[in-house]
Structure 1
Amino acid sequence: MSRTRTALAAGLTLLATAGLPAVTTGGASAATGTLHVDRAPGANCSNSGSGTAAQPFCTVAAAAAVASAGQTVEIAWGTYPEDLVITRSGRQGAPIVFRGKARGDGSQDAVLIGAVEGPSNGIKVRGAEFVEFENLGVVTNSQALSVTVDGAKQVKFTAVHAFGALLITNGSRQVTYARSNLNGTYGKPGVTVDGGSTGVVVTTNTVFAGYEGRPSVLVDGAPGTVVVSNTVYADCATGIALDGASAGAVVKNNVVDTARSQNQRCADTAAATGISVAPTATDGTVVDYNVVDPRSDGAPYRWADTAFPSQPEFTAGTGQGAHDFVAKVYEPRSPDGPQAASTDSADETAPGMLPVDRIGDGPADDPTVRNTGTGKGYRDRGAVESRDFGSVFTPAGPVRLLDTREAVGVPGTEAVPAGGTVDLQVAGEGGAPLDGVTAVTMNVTVTDPSEDGHLRVHPHGTALTQTSSLNWTAGRTVPNLVTVPVKDGKVSFYNSSGGTVHLIADLAGYYSAEGRLTFTPNSPWRAMDTRQDVRTECCLRPAGTVGAFDALDVEIHAPNIAAATLNVTVTEPGTDGHLIVYPGTELMPAVSNLNFQAGETVANQVVVKVNEGHITIRNASAAPVHIIVDLFGTQSY
C-alpha cells in the first residue's frame, strides 16, 4: 500500500469547512427546524423521540426516517455503526440535508457512518430527490461500496470521504460529488458512474483505484458526465476511463498518476493508461487542461482504441488536449528546479469548478509561476491548490504604526516600563489587509532609553525566546529593520531592560499568500555615494553633501520593479538627526529609517517601494550629511 493511500485511510475523516452553494429558493410546504442525532454517553438520545437538541435521535437512520423537505439532520461528532438508506425526498429549494459536526476541539474530524469491524453497507440513496450530505466519513468492510446513488436525482455530496468506492447508477440524474477522498475497493473503481445516469459532476476529489487493475474513475454508459479538477491515482491501472455510451463528457483540470506507488514504472505498462476514451464515448467529449504523469511508462492517452504516447501526438491525432501536460504531478520546490505543471494553469471556466479546493482553501496565485490558465489565470489543476511557495512580500507605506511618544498605536504617551510589553495591531493597518497577513517588515526604533537593554519583537501571544531585535545603550536612539510573524493580527514588543524606553515602528511591507512580487537578489551594488561623482540616468550628480532638511533622489532601475532592499548609510553628519527613505515623487511620510548623532557613521537596512524607478532620501537634520546607498535586491512584478 502506498504512503498516500495509507494516509488517506488514516485521515479520511478530515472535515472540509465549506461546501457547494445550496439552492435557496424556498418551497411553500417545506418543513423547518433541525433534527439532532447524538449517541454519545450523556446525550440522552432516543429513537422514539422527536430529535430535539435536548433528546436527540441515537441513530442517523431514525432521523432519516422522519426528515422532511427543508430540514437539516445535524449529526454530532462520533461514529455511527449503521447502514444508512435514504428514500425520503426534499423539494426544489428545500432539500433534506445530512450534516456532520466537527469534534469541536480544532481536530476537524468528521462524523463516521458505518464500521470496518463487521458488515456495513455505507450510505445508499434510492430513488430520492433533493438530498444533500456534508462533512461525513463513510467506512465499510473491504468488499462493500461506501456510497451508492441508485435511481436518485438532484443529490449533492460535499466532503463525504469514503474508504470504499462510490457508485452512481440506474439512471440517476444531476448528482454532484465534490471535495472528498475516495478509495476504490476490491475489484471496483474509486468512482463508477453507469446505468444511463446523466448530468453527473465529479469535482475536486482525490481518488484512488480499486484493486485488480480497475480504473480509478470509470464512466460507463453515462452521457454528459463532468470529471473536473480531481487528483487521480491509479496504481498501474487506467486513471480516468470513459466507456460505453458516455458521449458528451468533460474531462478537464485533472491530475492523473498511474505509476506504481505513484512514482515507479509499471510491469504491465499497457494497463497504465492515463485517460482512456472508448470509440462509443468520443462524440462531443472534451479532454483538456489535464496533467498526466509519465512515470508508469504507460500511454498517457487512449482515444478510440488508439494509444498516444505524448501530448503533441494526442492533440495532432484527435484535436484534444491542446493545453494538457505530460509531466510529473508534483515537483519539489527548489530555486533551480522545474515548477509543477499543474500550478496556475487550470481552465477556470470548466463546468463543475468550485470556489474552493478539496480542503476548503481558495485559489492562491504563485508569484514565481507565469499564469497560463483561463479566467484569472491562476487556478491550479487537481483537487488541492498549491501553497508550496509560502508567503509573498508586498511593500506598504512606509507608514507609522507605533509611537509611544505620540499615542500612535497605543492609548497613551507613557514610556514602556522595564519588562513591559506593547501589543500592536498590524493586520488591517497601514495598507496591510485585515486577513491573511503572516508577517510584517517594520523599521523599529527605540528612543530615550533610561538604561542599557534590548528589545524583543515577537508574534503576539507567544512565549518569549532568548533573542533580540534591537540593542541600545542608555540615552541613544537606535533603529533596526525587523521582520516578525503575525499572530491574531498583532505583534508584540518586549522591553528587556531595567529602565523605560519609547518605541517607534514604521511599516515597510507585509507577507501573505497573495501577491505578485518576486525577490531578485543582487551582489551588493552601490547605487549612490554622495562623496563621489555619480552618473545617473539623466545627468551627473557631482560629489557633495545633502543639505539640512534637503532630499536626495536615487535611481533604482530593474524590469517591473516595485520595491528595493537597500543598505543605507549616513556619514559625517554635522548634528543629530535621522533619514527618511520613501518612494520617489510621493509625499514625505512621518517615519524614520536611520537615526544618527553628530559625527558618527550609522547604517541600517531599508525595504522601500520604488516609484517610477526612483526613491527619495530626506536628511531630517539641521546640518549636511553624506549618504551611501547599496542595493541588495529588488522585488518585481
Structure 2
Amino acid sequence: MEIAWGTYPEELVITRSGQPGAPIVFRGRPRDTSPQGSVRIGAMEGPSKGITVRGAEFVEFENLAVVTNSQTPSVTVDGANQVKFTAVGAFAGLRITNGSRQVTFARGDANGGYGKPGITVDGGSTGTVLTTNTVFTYSQAPASVLVDGSPGTVVVSNTVYGDCTTGIALDGASAGAVVENNLVDTARAQSDRCADTAAATGIAVAPAATAGTVVDYNVVDPRSGGAPYRWADTGYQTRPEFTAGTGQGAHDFVAKIYEPKSLDGPQSVARDSADETAPGMLPVDTTGRAAADDPTVRNTGTGTGYRDRGAVEGRDFGSVFTPAGPVRLLDTRAAVGVPGVQAVPAFGQVDLHVAGTAGIPASGVTAVTMNVTVTDPTQAGHLRVYPHGQERPDTSNLNWTAGRTLANQVTVPVKDGKVSFYNHSGGTVHVLADLAGYYSDKGDLFHSLSPSRLLDTRSAVGVPGVQAVPAFGQVDLQVTGLAGIPASGVTAVTMNVTVTDPTEAGHLRVYPHGIARPDTSSLNWTSGRTVPNLVTVPVKDGKVSFYNHSGGTAHVIADVAGYYSGEGRLTFEPTGPWRAMDTRKDVQSPSSVRPAGTVGAFDTLDVEIYAPNTAAATLNVTVTEPGADGHLIVYPSNELMPAVSNLNFQAGETVANQVVVKVNRNRITIRNASPAPVHIVVDLFGTQNY
C-alpha cells in the first residue's frame, strides 16, 4: 500500500497479517530526497498513539514519520512477529514488547522524551534487530537503547546519543546479544561533561545479560565523564581495562565519535573500521547510500575493510590521483582520438572520450590531467577545455598568436566519460593532448608544498655544474628527499618547468626516469623564448628526466608545487571551470569587492579561493595586456615570496599557465614581477581539500 504525501493524525493499529514472501507493506511516497519522514502518521496537536502492530505477522513499513503527543511511544510492536521498519522516524520512541519475535528497525530515527528511552525492547521479545539508526534521548531516561529481558537482540551500526543517560543498556535476562559498530555519545549536549556522571555510562550489560553477548567495534565518546562501560555491575574507564576484565571490546575505541577534518590533527576512528560481518549489517547507510572508501584513512575493518561505524557513511572527501603516461590521447594531425586527420575548425569543438582509454577506468573517473598542445593555428585565439555536456564556460586554457605552437597542462572534470575542446578563434588549429594522470576513488594523495626550486641549470641547482642542456641531451633530476619531498613513497611530482635561452626551436620531454623516452612533449619553444609549463610526472627511482628535443642548447628550471604518495589528508574536488578573478572587471568575493584595474609594476594581487578546508588550488592563470616583459609568481598568502616563477611573458602578449598552489586562509597571492602594469585572469579548476 503506497501512502500519498500528507499528514494522517489518526492512530494506526495493525492486527491483520501478511504471508511469508507476501507481507503487507505500508510505504510512504518520498516527497524529496530525505529517506525519513516523507509521510506523517499521528499528530502533536491532538491525542494520537502513532502506529501499533498488535499480534500481526509479516508486516512492513517504509518512509514514514510517526509522532505522538502522549507518553505512548510513536511506534509499538505488541506480541507481533516478522515486522520490519525501514526509514521510519519514531519521534516519540519505539517499543517492541510482549514476546514479539524477529522485528527489525533499520535506517530510522528514534527519539525518546524526558525519562523515556528512544528504543525499548522488553517483555521477552526475541530476535530483534536494531540496525543503522540514529537514536536520541534526554536526561532521566534509563537509556537511549534499553533492552530488558529480551535475549538475542542485535544492536549494530547505530549512532546513539544519550544526554547524560546510558547509551546502550542490556538489562535483565538479555543474553546472547550483539552490540557492534555503534557510535555512543552520552555527553551533555553531545560534548560537555555531565553533572551526574554515574548516569552517563556508554554501554551497560547487566549480570544476567553477559552470557553469549558480544560487544566489539564500538566507539564510546568519553566526554560525558561517565564510565564508557559497565559489565556485570563493574565499571571500566578505558578500553584496555574493559577488554582485560571481560574479553570484550578488543576493537573498540574510547574516543570522540566525530573528529573535524584537519591537515594534521586526529582522524575519526569510526572511519573504515567497522566489522562488516556483524549480524544485521546493511549494504547501505541510513541515507540509503552504499559504503564509501575514504582514501585518507587506512582500512582496518573486516570484509572490504572500509565500512564506517555508526549509522552514516562519511563522504566528506573527493577523488585521488593515479599518475599515468605520458601517453597521447588526442592528435588531430594523426587521427588519434578523432575519426580522421583534420584541424579543429574555427569556433569548432572536439569531444574526446577519455574513460576506458590508455589505462583510464571506464567508469568512476572524476577528472583527467593532460598536457594540451596547440600547433599550426592560422589565426590568434584561445582554447577552452571543459567537461563534456556542460555549458561552455567563459574561461580559457591556452592563448596563442597565429603560427605559434604552445602547451599548457590542464586538469578538467570528466562528464559522460568525455572532455571537450573548443577553438575560440576565426582560424583552424591542431590540438594534441597527452595524459599525465586521472582522478577517481582509488589512487594517490596530493601534498602541497610552498614553491621551491629543484632545478636550475643556470646556477647548478639540481645538477653538478652550470651548463645548458645540450642538443638532444638529457638531465636526470633527483626529486625525492629534497625541498620537503619525502625520500620514499613518492609516486608523482608536480613542478613548474621553464625553458629559457634556447638557441633553436624545439620541445622538452619530461618523463619518469628509467623508462623508454616517450614521443610526447611538455613544453614547446621558439629560439630565444622563455616558456613555462606545469608538469605532473610519475617518479621512478626517486627521479624524473628532462630531454631537450632540439638542435640547440637550452637552460631548464623546475620549481616544485607538490607531490603524490599513497598516504595523506588531501583529496581533489574538481570544479568549474569558473572564473575566480579578472582584473579587467569588478570582482566580488565573499569578503570584498575588487574594482576593475591593472596590477601595478612589482605589485601583488590577492585572490580568494573560498571553499571549506582547502589546502591547495588548481588554477589556470592568464596574463594579458602586459606593458613590459616579466613574469608572475604565484604563492600562498601570508608566506614570504619565493624565488620562483610560474608564468613568463613578453610585452603585449597574452599567456596562460596552469598553477597548483598551496592556499593559506582561503587566499593566494600573485606578484607581477615586471616594470609595467598587467591584467591577470584566474580560472579555478579544482581544490585539494582536507
Confirm or deny a common fold (TM above 0.5): yes
SS class of match (1:437)? coil
CA distance in 1, matches of 2:56, 2:201: 36
Question: What is the root-mean-square deviation in Å for CA atoms of aligned residues?
Answer: 3.2
Distance 1:521 1:381, change over 3 A: same
SS class of match (2:244)? helix
CA distance in 1, matches of 2:243, 2:278: 19
Distance 1:461 1:244, change over 3 A: same
Q: Contact 1:448/1:502 (CA < 8 Å) preserved in 2? A: yes
Question: 2:680 is matched with which residue?
Answer: none
Choose which of 260, 264, 271 in structure 1 pairs with 2:188.
Answer: 260
Question: 2:243 is matched with which residue?
Answer: 315
Question: 1:135 is matched with which residue?
Answer: 63
**Unpaired stretches in structure 2, ≥5 consecutive residues:** 481-486, 567-690
Q: Contact 2:381/2:399 (CA < 8 Å) preserved in 1? A: yes
Choose which of 469, 479, 482 in structure 2 pairs with 1:545.
Answer: 469
Choose which of 564, 588, 592 in structure 1 pairs with 2:493.
Answer: 564
CA distance in 2, matches of 1:149, 1:229: 22
TM-score with structure 2 length normalisation?
0.73
CA distance in 2, matches of 1:491, 1:146: 52
Question: 1:379 is matched with which residue?
Answer: 307
Question: 1:392 is matched with which residue?
Answer: 320
Question: 2:535 is matched with which residue?
Answer: 606
CA distance in 2, matches of 1:373, 1:476: 55
Q: Contact 1:142/1:186 (CA < 8 Å) preserved in 2? A: no
CA distance in 1, matches of 2:253, 2:342: 62
Is 1:280 equivalent to 2:219 in the alignment?
no
Distance 1:616 1:271, change over 3 A: same
Question: 2:591 is matched with which residue?
Answer: none
SS class of match (1:314)? helix
Is 1:220 equivalent to 2:148 in the alignment?
yes
Q: Contact 1:531/1:545 (CA < 8 Å) preserved in 2? A: no
Q: Contact 2:36/2:89 (CA < 8 Å) preserved in 1? A: no
Aligned-partner residue type, residue 605 of structure 1: L
TM-score with structure 1 length normalisation?
0.78
Is 1:444 equivalent to 2:372 in the alignment?
yes
Question: 1:297 is matched with which residue?
Answer: 225
SS class of match (2:198)? helix
CA distance in 2, matches of 1:108, 1:504: 47
Q: CA deviation at 1:89?
A: 3.8
Q: CA deviation at 1:583?
A: 3.6
Question: 2:526 is matched with which residue?
Answer: 597
Q: CA deviation at 1:460?
A: 4.0
Question: 2:603 is matched with which residue?
Answer: none
Aligned-partner residue type, residue 580 of structure 1: R
Residues 462-491 of structure 1, C-alpha deviations (whole Å, 9 max, x = no match) = 455554333222222221122233344444
Q: Contact 1:142/1:185 (CA < 8 Å) preserved in 2? A: no
CA distance in 1, matches of 2:46, 2:362: 50
Residues 504-556 of structure 1, C-alpha deviations (whole Å, 9 max, x = no match) = 333322333x23523234555655556687989xxx899673543x6655444
Is 1:481 equivalent to 2:409 in the alignment?
yes
Distance 1:95 1:431, change over 3 A: farther
Residues 163-217 of structure 1, C-alpha deviations (whole Å, 9 max, x = no match) = 2312222222222222222222454311111121222221111111156434211
CA distance in 1, matches of 2:518, 2:88: 53
Aligned-partner residue type, residue 517 of structure 1: D
Is 1:520 equivalent to 2:444 in the alignment?
no
Question: 2:565 is matched with which residue?
Answer: 636
CA distance in 2, matches of 1:416, 1:225: 67
CA distance in 2, matches of 1:255, 1:144: 27
Residues 265-291 of structure 1, C-alpha deviations (whole Å, 9 max, x = no match) = 222222211111112212222222211
Aligned length, in residue pairs: 559
CA distance in 2, matches of 1:154, 1:451: 74
SS class of match (1:450)? coil
CA distance in 2, matches of 1:293, 1:338: 14
Question: 2:197 is matched with which residue?
Answer: 269
Aligned-partner residue type, residue 505 of structure 1: A
Q: Contact 2:11/2:48 (CA < 8 Å) preserved in 1? A: yes
Q: Contact 1:113/1:122 (CA < 8 Å) preserved in 2? A: no
CA distance in 2, matches of 1:585, 1:151: 73
More strand by share: 2
Distance 1:333 1:87, change over 3 A: same
Aligned-partner residue type, residue 94 of structure 2: L
Question: 1:238 is matched with which residue?
Answer: 166
Aligned-partner residue type, residue 189 of structure 2: S
CA distance in 2, matches of 1:187, 1:482: 60
Is 1:351 equivalent to 2:279 in the alignment?
yes
**Mapping of 1:126-275 within 5 angstroms?**
126-141=54-69, 143-210=71-138, 212-275=140-203
**Mapping of 1:485-500 within 5 angstroms?**
485-500=413-428
